[in-house]
């Protein structure tokens, strides 16, 4: 048997008793009373079925699938973040539909200081029945009149008042200030409002009224107001639950799970609209004849079936129906009813709550029943109390099942097995009913055992939350402006990129001519790319930072096979004598063509001679860009450019010998190592350089040098991002303005984080994990902004790189006098290869800036070793040909 502990949910027990413990039940209980009470009992299994079915209905709606029956609606609210606690300002709040047949106006002051609260001023206006059921315009005119009546007695000037509109009915929201009513609920039924934008209707009415100039900034419902007004506790409050006239909840969902939103980032508050949940399979078994009667007699028969079992508007009515039933059967009140008891709506939530309150005692129950024109006996009072309890306990349990469905959803979407969450509660049922919250809490604990839920009562009936939404909207807009301003210099226009391309072209030409230029344009003495006819066995030596690799490269008709052996460089050698510097130069190839390079070759030759183990001929020394070009060139004869984007960046390409002033000869070609990392060292990039580039440059070991490289390569991108994050934090845009020591640490933000953060699949969760690892306290807004910063920095890097490649390929095309050039670029480097968007952005920029070149990018594998061997192979091939 499925049981929910002490809540009296056991099915099929013997004599029914009052559903709650601790209350005396009449001993002469008639079967008919027991039968009535029994109908309101819900088993654990039934609650779980409701939980499961509601969760299914929620997920279906999130996916945008609409079933035949009205189900939950899952309406996005355009509220994307929970409050920081730093929001401030004065706001007018107008509440409609949150508290039954009344309308509330509030003046809320947010101080921006945690713990420092200013009590809001508020006024409640009762809405006459004929207004609730009359023409829509009359309702909105009434609201505008209440507004000015309220403002008239406040010392406010009529300047730029900002209003948050709390409108608690199911709406389709298409913006923070645009919301179309789907259908009236909770006893409202005004004509000509359904299908209309209620913000516009309110604006029109305020204008017709003409007394105040008020800007309606945001529209939300009471659940959102409740959630947003919640004082931030241990963690943010991300569920709002309201049980007032009706019932509803909202929670923060991952935007990518919401099919109707064209947004895959961040979170959005979803109004579940669970009042319309109506799965027959789940609800049918727990509905009583009284629920059916209530529904038939309501303003909206067939609709809001779930709400009609929970909402405060209906609890009193259900009790009334049961009492009429029992009185008519002669069980209660000596078989007499009264005209008041027989009239719809005569028992209110307040009556029910009062009669159930154990501290009120039997005398209160008697008094309430007498007010209803009844003449109760002692046992009647006790039974009436039992009826109230049965109805309200069921309501709290059903509400718990629904909340448990939301918790399951959160567990799933956050991928958290054990969820710790705060739920803000609001509405008169929580405020007035003595046991509703405790029954709800106990049932939730049983239905969602892995969730640690704290219930936090809302402040000011959600009005503060509405002000908060209005303030958050204002804060986000301000932060977004600051972010955009900060990132604007990184967003290069086509013209700016074309200018970089033109300057690169000029610097290349000057460098080749031996004129002053930031590009050194070093000849490499590699005169040809592979033509595929190379054959033989070659040894290549590759010195990395920590490893020394010896490769045997076998070039045969069948292709290139490489076997390699890795030796780690002993510490004493790595950090010992001046040879170290020479080795590094050799690997990086910075000075490959001059005497340092010669030294290495000589050293190597001598070392080999000393060993005398094998006969080797040291033929060539290769820089990594050349190695990359050559290794790709073996597969693709069009490969005449080599590009590296790793720790640093560089390019080499095949230039016409006649253009190379420093090398004799007019025919043929030679591979030129551009050393383009130094591009801009003459100040030509200063127009593009941001304050963040300047900071990174200043803090580097070579200030003023390698300016192009410092905007592009892996050694620097993380640092640029870190400097931007520091700046945004100082503006208060990020991390709530709190500077941490960690973020001040140089190189703490690795370039590989850009790749991880920008990878589409893991999105914001990844950003959070990375930043939390760095000890940065972040919200989802922060995560989104960090992502945008990374995107701006890596996009500029890729575009600058693309502008450079465009300059190179255009030069080759013009060198050859071609209308169109088909060419391939061999690429190596971890940044290029592993960043999710870098390579495609480079290619797109090249297409844009060099439209007459058809450029294919080939990623090299084992570029350095294979390339070195191929340089040797080509040199041997050319030497042989010369001998012949």
Residues that bind ligand ADP (CB under 6 A): 646-647, 714-715, 751-752, 755, 829-831, 834-835
Residues 6 or more apart in contact with residue 34 via CB below 8 angstroms: 15, 16
Catalytic residue, chosen from 624, 693, 697, 781, is: 624
Catalytic residue flag (residue 624): yes
Tokens 């010669």 — which residue? 598
Give least dist CB 748 to ligand ADP, A: 13
- Residue 450 · residue 418 · CB < 8 Å: yes
CA–CA separation, 601 and 636 (whole Å): 29
Give least dist CB 561 to ligand ADP, A: 23
The smaller minimum CB distance to ligand ADP, of residues 299 and 834, is found at 834
The smaller minimum CB distance to ligand ADP, of residues 705 and 752, is found at 752
The smaller minimum CB distance to ligand ADP, of residues 267 and 835, is found at 835
Tokens 């006819």 — which residue? 533
Residues 6 or more apart in contact with residue 140 via CB below 8 angstroms: 201, 202, 204, 205
- Residue 231 · residue 242 · CB < 8 Å: no
Take residue 671 and report the two structure tokens written for it.
């591979």
Catalytic residue flag (residue 197): no
Distance from the Cα of residue 430 to its chain's centroid = 32
The smaller minimum CB distance to ligand ADP, of residues 13 and 747, is found at 747
Catalytic residue, chosen from 588, 705, 752, 833, is: 588
DSSP letters of 447-511? Answer: H-TTEEEEEEEPSGGGHHHHHHHHHHHHHHHHHHHHHHHHHGGGS--HHHHHHHHHHHHHHHHHH
Coil, helix or strand at residue 411:
helix
Coil, helix or strand at residue 310:
helix
Which H, E and C letters describe 32-54, residue by residue?
A: HHHHHHHHCCCCHHHHHHHHHHH
User: Angle 51-55-60 (CA atoms, 0-180°, nearest 5)?
Assistant: 150
- Residue 169 · residue 184 · CB < 8 Å: yes
Phi, psi of 333 (to 5 degrees): 50, 35
CA–CA separation, 125 and 101 (whole Å): 9
What ranges in 488-623 are assigned the alpha helix state H?
A: 494-513, 571-575, 579-588, 595-611
Phi, psi of 140 (to 5 degrees): -70, -35
Take residue 369 and report the two structure tokens written for it.
């029943």
Give least dist CB 592 to ligand ADP, A: 15
- Residue 172 · residue 75 · CB < 8 Å: yes
CA–CA separation, 626 and 620 (whole Å): 11
The smaller minimum CB distance to ligand ADP, of residues 669 and 674, is found at 674
Give least dist CB 838 to ligand ADP, A: 8
Give least dist CB 755 to ligand ADP, A: 3
The smaller minimum CB distance to ligand ADP, of residues 8 and 829, is found at 829
The smaller minimum CB distance to ligand ADP, of residues 248 and 751, is found at 751
Give least dist CB 543 to ligand ADP, A: 11
The smaller minimum CB distance to ligand ADP, of residues 261 and 834, is found at 834
- Residue 691 · residue 668 · CB < 8 Å: no
Take residue 287 and report the two structure tokens written for it.
């509905």
The smaller minimum CB distance to ligand ADP, of residues 715 and 793, is found at 715
Nearest to 252 by CA among 263, 237, 268: 268
**Using CA of residue 13, residue 14, residue 16, residue 20, what is the dihedral sign?**
negative
Give least dist CB 648 to ligand ADP, A: 6
Give least dist CB 757 to ligand ADP, A: 10
Angle between helices 780-815 and 763-773 (to 10 degrees): 100
Give least dist CB 700 to ligand ADP, A: 14
Q: Which residues does the annotation mark as catalytic?
A: 588, 624
């Amino acid at each position: 048997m499925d049981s929910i502990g002490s809540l009296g949910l056991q099915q099929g027990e013997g004599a029914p008793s009052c559903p709650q413990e601790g209350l005396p039940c009449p001993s002469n209980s008639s079967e008919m009373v027991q039968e009535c009470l029994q109908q309101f009992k819900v088993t654990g299994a039934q609650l779980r079925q409701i939980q499961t079915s509601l969760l299914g209905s929620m997920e279906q709606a999130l996916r945008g699938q609409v079933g035949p029956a009205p189900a939950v609606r899952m309406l996005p609210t355009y509220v994307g973040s929970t409050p920081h606690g730093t929001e401030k300002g004065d706001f007018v709040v107008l509440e409609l539909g949150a508290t039954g047949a009344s309308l509330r106006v509030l003046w809320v002051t947010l101080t921006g200081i945690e713990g420092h609260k200013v009590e809001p001023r508020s006024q409640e206006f009762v809405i006459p029945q004929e207004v609730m059921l009359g023409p829509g315009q009359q309702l909105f005119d009434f609201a505008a009149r209440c507004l000015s009546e309220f403002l008239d007695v406040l010392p406010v000037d009529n300047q730029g008042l900002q209003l948050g509109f709390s409108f608690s009915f199911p709406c389709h929201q298409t913006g923070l200030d645009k919301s179309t009513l789907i259908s009236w609920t909770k006893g409202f039924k005004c004509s000509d409002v359904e299908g209309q934008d209620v913000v516009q209707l309110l604006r029109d009415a305020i204008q017709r009224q003409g007394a105040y100039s008020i800007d309606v900034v945001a529209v939300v419902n009471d659940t959102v107001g409740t959630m947003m007004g919640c004082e931030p506790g241990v963690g943010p409050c991300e569920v709002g639950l309201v049980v007032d006239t009706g019932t509803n909840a909202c929670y923060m969902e991952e935007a990518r799970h919401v099919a109707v939103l064209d947004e895959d980032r961040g979170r959005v508050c979803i109004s579940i609209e669970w009042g319309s949940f109506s799965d027959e399979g789940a609800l049918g078994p727990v509905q009583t004849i009284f629920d059916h009667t209530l529904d038939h007699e309501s303003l909206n028969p067939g609709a809001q079936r779930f709400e009609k079992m929970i909402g405060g508007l209906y609890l009193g009515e259900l009790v009334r129906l049961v009492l009429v039933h029992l009185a008519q059967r002669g069980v209660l009140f000596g078989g007499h009813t009264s005209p008041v008891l027989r009239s719809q709506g005569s028992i209110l939530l307040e009556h029910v709550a009062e009669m159930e309150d154990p501290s009120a005692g039997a005398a209160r129950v008697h008094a309430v029943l007498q007010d209803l024109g009844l003449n109760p006996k002692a046992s009647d009072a006790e039974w009436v109390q039992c009826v109230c309890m049965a109805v309200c306990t069921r309501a709290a349990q059903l509400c718990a099942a629904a909340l448990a469905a939301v918790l399951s959803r959160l567990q799933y979407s956050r991928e958290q097995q054990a969820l710790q969450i705060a739920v803000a509660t609001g509405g008169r049922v929580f405020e007035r009913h003595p046991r509703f919250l405790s029954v709800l809490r106990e049932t939730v604990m049983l239905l969602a055992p892995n969730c640690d839920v704290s219930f936090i009562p809302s402040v000011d009936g959600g009005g503060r939350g509405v002000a908060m939404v209005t303030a958050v909207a204002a804060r986000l807009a301000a932060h977004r402006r600051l972010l955009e301003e900060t990132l604007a210099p990184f967003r290069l226009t086509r013209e700016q990129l074309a200018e970089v391309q033109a300057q690169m072209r000029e610097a290349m030409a000057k460098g080749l001519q031996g004129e002053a230029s930031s590009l050194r344009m070093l000849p490499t003495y590699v005169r040809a790319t592979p033509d595929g006819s190379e054959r033989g066995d070659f040894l290549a030596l590759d010195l990395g930072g920590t490893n020394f690799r010896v490769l045997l490269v076998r070039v045969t008709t069948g292709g290139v096979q490489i076997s390699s052996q890795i030796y780690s460089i002993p510490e004493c050698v790595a950090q010992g004598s001046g040879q170290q510097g020479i080795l590094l130069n050799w690997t990086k190839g910075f000075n490959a063509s001059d005497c340092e390079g010669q030294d290495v070759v000589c050293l190597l030759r001598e070392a080999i001679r000393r060993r005398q183990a094998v006969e080797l001929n040291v033929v060539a020394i290769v820089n990594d860009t050349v190695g990359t070009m050559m290794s790709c060139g073996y597969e693709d004869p069009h490969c005449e450019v080599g590009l590296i984007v790793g720790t640093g960046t560089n390019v080499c390409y095949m230039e016409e010998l006649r253009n190379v002033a420093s090398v004799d000869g007019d025919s043929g070609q030679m591979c030129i190592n551009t050393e383009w990392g130094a591009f801009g060292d003459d100040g030509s990039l200063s127009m593009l350089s941001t304050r963040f580039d300047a900071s990174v440059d200043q803090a580097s070991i070579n200030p003023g040098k390698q300016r192009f490289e410092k905007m592009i390569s892996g050694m620097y991108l993380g640092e640029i991002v870190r400097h931007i994050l520091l700046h945004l934090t100082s503006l208060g845009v990020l991390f709530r303005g709190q500077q941490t020591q960690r973020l001040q640490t140089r190189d703490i933000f690795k370039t590989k984080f850009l790749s991880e953060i920008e990878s589409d699949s893991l999105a914001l969760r990844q950003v959070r994990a990375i930043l939390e690892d760095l000890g940065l306290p972040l919200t989802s807004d922060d995560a989104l902004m960090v992502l945008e910063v990374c995107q701006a920095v890596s996009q500029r890097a890729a575009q600058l790189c693309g502008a450079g490649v465009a300059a190179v390929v255009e030069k080759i095309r013009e060198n050859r006098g071609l209308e169109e050039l088909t060419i391939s670029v061999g690429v190596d480097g971890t940044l290029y290869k592993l960043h999710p968007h870098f390579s495609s952005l480079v290619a797109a920029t090249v297409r844009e800036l060099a439209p007459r070149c058809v450029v294919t990018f080939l990623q090299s594998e084992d570029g350095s070793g294979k390339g070195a061997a191929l340089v040797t192979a080509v040199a041997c091939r050319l030497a042989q040909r010369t001998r012949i």
